[in-house]
Amino acid sequence: MPKTQYYTATTLDGYLADEHNSLDWLFEVDEGDPGGRADEAGVTPFAAFFAGVGAFAMGATTYEWVLAHDSLTDNPLKWADYYGDVPAWVFTHRELPPIPGARLTFVRGDVRPVHEAMTAAAAGKNIWLVGGGDLVGAFADAALLDEIIVGVAPVTLGAGAPLLPRRLTAKRLTLTAVRQRGQFAYLTYAVGPPSADQPADQPASTG
Contact between 187 and 178 under an 8 Å Cβ cutoff? The reply is: yes
Contact between 98 and 120 under an 8 Å Cβ cutoff? The reply is: no
What is the Cα–Cα distance from 173 to 161, expressed in whole angstroms? 21
Please tell me the predicted confidence (pLDDT) of residue 194: 85
In degrees and rounded to multiples of 5, residue 32 shows phi and psi of: -70, -20
Q: How confident is the model at residue 75 (pLDDT cuts 50, 70, 90)?
A: very high
Total-model pTM: 0.89
Whether residue 9 has pLDDT greater than 60: yes
Please tell me the predicted confidence (pLDDT) of residue 82: 92
Domain range summary for the chain, segments of one domain joined by +: 4-191
Beta strands in 51-183 (DSSP E): 53-59, 88-91, 104-107, 126-131, 147-153, 161-162, 173-181
Whether residue 156 has pLDDT greater than 90: yes
Q: pLDDT digit string (tens) for 167-186?
A: 999 999 999 999 998 899 99
Sheet holding 184-191, edge to edge: 104-107, 88-91, 53-59, 126-131, 4-11, 147-153, 184-191, 173-181
How many other β-carbons are positioned within 10 Å of the β-carbon of residue 194? 20
How many other β-carbons are positioned within 10 Å of the β-carbon of residue 88? 21
Please tell me the predicted confidence (pLDDT) of residue 14: 97
Average pLDDT taken over every residue of the chain: 90
Q: pLDDT digit string (tens) for 35-69?
A: 666 555 556 788 889 999 999 999 999 999 999 98
Whether residue 207 has pLDDT greater than 60: no
Give the percent of the chain with pLDDT over 70: 88
Lowest pLDDT segment from 20-24, 38-42, 137-141: 38-42
Please tell me the predicted confidence (pLDDT) of residue 62: 94
Whether residue 203 has pLDDT greater than 60: no
**Topology of the domain comprising 4-191:** Dihydrofolate Reductase, subunit A (3.40.430)
